[in-house]
Every structure is written in C-alpha cells, then in structure tokens.
Amino acid sequence: MPDALAVIPQPALLERTGEAPFVVTRATTVVVDERPDLIGLAVLVADVLGRVGGIPVEVRYSEAGATDIVRLRLVETLPPGDEVYRVLTRSGRIDVEARTLAGLVRALVTLRQLIVVAPSGELRVPAVRIEDAPRYAWRGLSVDVARHFVPMDDLKVVIGLMAHYKLNVLHLHLTDDQGWRLDLPSRPLLTRLSSATSVGGDPGGSYSAADFADLVGFAAARGMRVVPEIDVPGHVNAATHAYGELNPSGEPTDTYTGIEVGFSRLHADLPATHAFLADVFADVAAMTPGEYVHIGGDEVLTMAPDEYATLVGAASAAVRAAGKKVVGWQEIAHTPLEPGTVVQYWDAREDPAPFAAAARAGALFLMSPAPKAYLDMKYDASTELGLEWAGHIQLRDAYDWDPATLIEGVAEESVIGVEAAIWTETLRDLPALAQMLLPRLAAIAEVAWSAPEQRDWEDFRTRVAAHAPFWDRIALPWHASPQVDWPR
C-alpha cells in the first residue's frame, strides 16, 4: 500500500510521480544558502527530521559531497504570491522552493505532514510534486484571553498548532468585562487593578510589553502575525473598574466574573473617554509590528446609534493616526468606514443589506460565521465544554461552507479571509482549548486555504483521521467526531 498523502489544507496541485520515496538516513543533509533567516529554517527542518527519525541530521551551505539532500531555496520563477511554494520529492532528494520566506514556511509544513513511518521503522517521504498557494491571505484564529487568561506557554502551543495547518493570523481578544490582559504604559491601572480575575472568579493574569513582544516574535518565526483587539465601546467593565473617570459618576465599577454581555459601555460626552481611546490605541499600535489593530465594536446594547458611531469613529481615528489599519466586528458596518477597513462578520442572523453597502463603499470582510467557525460551540448536546447559542458545530459543519457566498450582496473580491474564533467562558486551560479546536481547526484551515473545487468532504475525513496520531504525540486532547473513522 503506498504511503498516505494526508496533507491539510489540500494543496492546489498534489500528484504522485511514481518514483521511489525519499528515505531519511544518517546521510540525510539539509542544504541552504548561507543567510540567517534561511539557516534558521534549515535548522528547524533538520531538528524535525532528526527528532522524528531518531537520527542526527546535518545542515550545510553546499551540496558538494552531500547525499540524501533536502534543498531549501528562494526562487523567482514561481507564480506571484507571498505564500506560493513548490515541493518535489523523490529518492535521494527533496527540493523545497518558494518566492518568500513565508512561502518556505508553508512548504515545510507540507513536508512535515508528508513524512510517514514505514512498518520497517524507516522515515519516508512519498515521491510527489506539489505546487500550492492559498485562496485567502488572512487565515486566522481569534483566541479570547480575557474571559479566561491563557498563559504564554499555552498560547505558544496554540500558535504551533495553527502553524501546522498554515494559519497565519493570531487575533488576541485582550480585553473584556472580566479582565484586561495587556499592560500599557499610558494606563498602568488597567492590568494592576483589572487583570486578577476570570470568569467564575478563576485566576487571571496579563501580558507585559516584553511578553507581548516575545509572543509576536514567536509567531513571526512561524509565518504568523498577531492582531491585538481592544474591545470598545462595549465590553469595557475591566476598563471602567480601573479608571472611574470613564463613568458619568466618576466612580469605578465593580469587578465582573459572569458571562452576560452588553451591559458595559463608554460615554462619548466624557472628555476622559477620548483621551483613553487615543492613548490606549497609540500604545497598542506601537507594540504591534503588523498592519492591523482590532477595535472590537460588538454587542453594545445600551447605546444610541449616533453615539456608537462617534466612538467607533474615535477608536478608528486613533488606530489610523498610529499608522495601522482598522478591524472591527460586524456591527461597525452600521457606521461610516474608511475604505480598506476590515469588517469581521460573525452573526448570520442580521440583515445582509448594511454589509453589502459597506462592501460597495470599500470595506473588506473577514468571515467568522458563528454557526461554522465559533469553535467554542458544543459539538453536540452531550459535549461537556462550550456553549450552544449559535447551535452545535460538528466537524462537517465547520468544513462545508464557502466564504465567498456567505453574505448576499458582498462580492468575492471584498472577502479578505477566514477566521475561526474560540471564546473562553467555559474553557479554563490548554486541554479544554485543544478539545474544542481539534479536529475542527483543521477543517477551518482548509476552508481558508483551498479553493472550493479542491475540497471534498469524503477525502477530508480520510485525511484528517491520519492526523490523530500527531495530536496524540504532542499530547493534545481532541474530539473523536463520529463523522470520521479514526485509527484505533
């Protein structure tokens, strides 16, 4: 039986060549041009091959005298695109080529997924030709670290899992009613007074500026950017608890450890509000190398439309003044938006007309439909963790949808990408996160990367079954969906 090709997301072109497979041996050598960024990737490849195969793998800068070569190379001959790559494997040689470093990172993920352990114990890579590029440039996961704090080490595990499925945006929901998780120089009381608790009174926490920089660098090394979210003008009880001047009474609000939404708000007629928005978003932008900052904007249930538009406009202006582009949840589509603003669509129950109008005016759409992509939703009624206000999401529900046809009146060219979300009202630790992410995160990743004509549910359910041993090896719990024939 030939080695399985369980690559997720499904590549644009993947074909067997009929040649003998590449076999990892003690002679295997990773060859790369002598430049620091490529050397770092080559060391990573050698480490992976060595750890999986249980043998040392050398890195060299020349093919002279080398055998069983894995060659990493940047080339100009591939089609345009930051993440375009090509992999050609056969006996004695693997060529991994891309136009950019990001493309090489994606190629190496594919190579890692191709590796199989033969019954003899040999490490093999089937002989294939792969040419690939993503459908969407934004392929993300939003992680709520506000309702339950997620420690740095756990976030890095999540980043590694995202990278394994070629996701390239970590969106951090850093603030909410229950806690403020990022230390900012202009407002030190936000973390000093409002980071200690989580939902249910569980322990809280926060990230220092150094933590955040470390996280950004860790993600960047895996071809991923971080988009920070400061949620305004609602979901702000942590802010109003730390700074009483944000309330009309001038008094701080009490801490909040429940899960209700919509009760907290900023006030446009308070001078402290505008100074707060300007300072906070300037701080966050200065800490963010990427081009986007998320302003939230969702579930503001006790505010008149005019005041909401004023505050969304003030937050957006602060982000743009700091040289960044604006992202917000879908409610901001009801306000005047600058062209290029990204609207994150989540609630399919709403009238599509305002979204179509926003798209015609130049807004871009990031698709996160709750009934498909909110991975904190229960798998079924018996699931212990999660919520179910958006319904149950089985694996096929997360897989069978097309972002380009999701909103009536929003053209395909207005869709910038796809992002799953995981909210943490009921998720207290990494095992809980993993249980809800896996296997559905792999499905969302394929929706974001692969063209509709390349996706097939029956094929996917076969491929994803082959990933269960990998999740077991890295000690992450996962949900054994009854829709898949998992290996014993």
Q: How many other CB atoms are there within 10 angstroms of residue 306's CB atom?
A: 10
Catalytic residues: 299
Q: Can you give the pLDDT at residue 450?
A: 98
Residues β-bridged to residue 147: none
Q: Can you give the pLDDT at residue 1?
A: 39
Q: Which of 404, 418, 410, 305 is nearest to 367 (CA)?
A: 418
What does the alpha-carbon distance between residue 181 and residue 198 come to, in Å, rounded to a whole number? 10
- Token pair, residue 224, equals 């991923």
Q: Which of 362, 443, 450, 440 is nearest to 404 (CA)?
A: 450
What does the alpha-carbon distance between residue 300 and residue 335 come to, in Å, rounded to a whole number? 13
Query: Which helix (H) or strand (E) covers residue 357, if one does?
Result: helix 353-360
What does the alpha-carbon distance between residue 169 and residue 166 come to, in Å, rounded to a whole number? 10
Q: How many other CB atoms are there within 10 angstroms of residue 307's CB atom?
A: 16
Q: Can you give the pLDDT at residue 117?
A: 86
Spatial contact of 338 and 375, defined as CB atoms under 8 Å apart: no
141 backbone φψ class: left, alpha, beta (φ>0; ψ -120 to 50): beta
Query: Which helix (H) or strand (E) covers residue 473, if one does?
Result: helix 468-473
What is the per-residue burial (b if ≥16 Cβ within 10 Å, else e) of 341-354?
A: bbbbbbeeeeeeeb
pLDDT in tens, the chain (488 residues): 356 699 999 999 999 999 999 999 999 999 999 999 899 999 989 998 888 888 899 999 999 988 899 999 999 999 999 999 999 999 999 999 999 999 999 999 999 999 998 888 889 999 999 999 999 999 999 999 999 999 999 999 999 999 999 999 999 999 999 999 999 999 999 999 999 999 999 999 999 999 999 999 999 999 999 999 999 999 999 999 999 999 999 999 999 999 999 999 999 999 999 999 999 999 999 999 999 999 999 999 999 999 999 999 999 999 999 999 999 999 999 999 999 999 999 999 999 999 999 999 999 999 999 999 999 999 999 999 999 999 999 999 999 999 999 999 999 999 999 999 999 999 999 999 999 999 999 999 999 999 999 999 999 999 999 999 999 999 999 999 999 999 97
What does the alpha-carbon distance between residue 239 and residue 176 come to, in Å, rounded to a whole number? 8
Q: Can you give the pLDDT at residue 53?
A: 81
Angle at 229 between CA 175 and CA 247, to 5 degrees: 45
- Token pair, residue 458, equals 């029956």
DSSP E strands in 292-438: the ranges are 292-296, 325-329, 342-345, 364-367, 415-422
329 three-class SS: strand
Q: How many other CB atoms are there within 10 angstroms of residue 76's CB atom?
A: 5
Angle at 444 between CA 200 and CA 324, to 5 degrees: 75
Q: Can you give the pLDDT at residue 122?
A: 86
Spatial contact of 140 and 154, defined as CB atoms under 8 Å apart: no
Q: Can you give the pLDDT at residue 164?
A: 97
